[in-house]
Amino acid sequence: MAEANQSGQLGQGGERRNLRPNVRSVVLLSGGMDSCVCAAIAVAEARDSGTEVAALHISYGQRTEARERQAFLAICDHLEIRQRLIVRNEALRAIGGSALTDVNIAVPEITGESAHIGQTVPVTYVPFRNAHFLAVAVSWAEVLEASQIYIGAVEQDSSGYPDCRPAYYEAYNQVIRLGTKEGNISIVTPLIALRKSQIVSHGLELGAPLDLTWSCYSHGDGAGDAACGVCDSCVLRLRAFQDAGAADAIPYTVRAVSAD
Q: Which amino acid is located at 24 in the chain?
A: R
pTM of the model: 0.89
CATH of the domain at 168: 3.40.50.620
Encode 180-199: b = buried (16+ Cβ within 10 Å), e = exposed: eeeeebebbbbbbebbbbbb
Question: Which pLDDT band holds residue 9 (cuts at 50, 70, 90)?
Answer: very low
Contact 88, 76 (CB under 8 A): no
Indicate whether 126 belongs to any domain: yes
Indicate whether 255 belongs to any domain: no
Q: Which residues span the domain enclosing 240?
A: 2-244
Indicate whether 226 belongs to any domain: yes
Q: How far apart are CA 109 and CA 114, in angstroms?
A: 8
What's the domain count of the chain?
1
Looking at residue 224, its pLDDT comes to 62
Indicate whether 251 belongs to any domain: no
Q: How far apart are CA 119 and CA 160, in angstroms?
A: 7
Proportion of the chain above pLDDT 70, given as a percent: 84
pLDDT in tens, 137-156: 999 999 999 999 999 999 97
pLDDT in tens, 216-238: 999 976 656 899 999 999 999 99
Looking at residue 1, its pLDDT comes to 55
Indicate whether 182 belongs to any domain: yes
Question: Which pLDDT band holds residue 258 (cuts at 50, 70, 90)?
Answer: very low
Looking at residue 120, its pLDDT comes to 81
Q: How far apart are CA 218 and CA 254, in angstroms?
A: 13
pLDDT in tens, 71-111: 999 999 999 999 999 999 999 999 999 999 999 999 999 87
Across 2-27, average pLDDT = 57
Looking at residue 116, its pLDDT comes to 58
Across 155-169, average pLDDT = 84
Contact 210, 197 (CB under 8 A): no
Indicate whether 250 belongs to any domain: no
Indicate whether 83 belongs to any domain: yes
Indicate whether 146 belongs to any domain: yes
Looking at residue 259, its pLDDT comes to 39
Q: Which of 226, 51, 6 is nearest to 150 (CA)?
A: 51
